[in-house]
Chains A and B, each alone.
Chain A
């Protein structure tokens, strides 16, 4: 079964629940089998499968779990687009503090950011998709991929800085 482990990891990071991830992966493969004729030979099959799974997540799990609606990107991007953001908001997180964090802090930080931003980090930093592939999976322009990644990383660093403070590291700007 191609990319099964990656897909399961991806599904779990989206749903944050093992059973839901299990169902989501099964659903994705069933859809891939059913709609195999829509796959363009020569294109990235992994990206295609991820797109199916992402769409299933959006269609089924958000509705079922009654999660909050889509993030108001205009509000988030206005906040992070400020010229001052890199000066004021970006925490002075240090390599040592990140290295000393155990898995829990980092996964908690990642899981605490909104699914759409979390998705961007997972696809790029963990699964290694290119911006172009991400644009196809997420069905957004490449420019939006880049800005969403930028925002997601800012958010993640803020969360990690909070944990680092808890560990006793000085993260003053």
Chain B
């Protein structure tokens, strides 16, 4: 019984917060292409067995994909390349 009470008042919540931070750091590193194999394993193991972790991972991935798809849509002014070439050429003369 005292073991049970001991566990109830243990610092598991503190460890949980720390584990979450480690997991999220690893998620960012993995999506940035900077994660070590160990960090990638942390992420993959976690998302396989924890729905909450999986949803956090999917959210980060979704935001980046959305940003990338929107960002690429800005239309460049026509003839910008010609304008630049002209300027460079005129400085050479």
Contact = CB atoms under 8 A, between A and B. Distances in A.
A, B: real partners? yes
| Interface of chain A: mostly helix, strand, loop or mixed | helix
A86 B71 contact: no
B64 A125 contact: yes
Interface in B41-93: 55, 58-60, 62-64, 66-68, 70-74, 76-77, 80-81, 83-85, 87-88, 91
Interface residues of B, number: 33
Contact of B58 (A22, A29, A95, A150): A95
A122 interface: yes
Nearest to A121: B67
A30 B58 CA distance: 42
Contacts of B20: 86
B67 A110 contact: yes
B84 A98 contact: no
A86 B67 contact: no
B77 A18 contact: yes
Given A86-B24, A95-B58, A22 B77 contact: yes
Contact of A122 (B17, B60, B71): B71
Contact of B63 (A5, A29, A130, A157): A157
Contacts, number: 90
Contacts of A95: 55, 58-59, 62
A94 interface: yes
A161 to B, nearest CB: 11
A153 interface: yes
A73 interface: no
A30 B88 contact: yes
B76 A30 contact: no
B32 interface: yes
Interface of A: 1, 4-5, 8-9, 12-13, 18, 22, 25-26, 29-30, 33-34, 83, 86-87, 93-95, 98-99, 101, 103, 106-107, 110, 121-122, 124-126, 128, 130-131, 149-150, 153, 156-157, 160
21 contacts: A1-B85, A4-B76, A8-B76, A9-B76, A13-B71, A29-B84, A30-B88, A30-B91, A33-B88, A33-B91, A34-B91, A86-B17, A87-B17, A93-B59, A101-B66, A106-B66, A126-B72, A150-B28, A153-B60, A153-B63, A160-B63
Given A25-B80, A30-B91, A126-B67, 15 more contacts: A4-B80, A9-B72, A12-B74, A26-B84, A29-B87, A94-B55, A95-B55, A98-B66, A99-B62, A99-B66, A103-B73, A106-B67, A122-B71, A125-B67, A150-B28
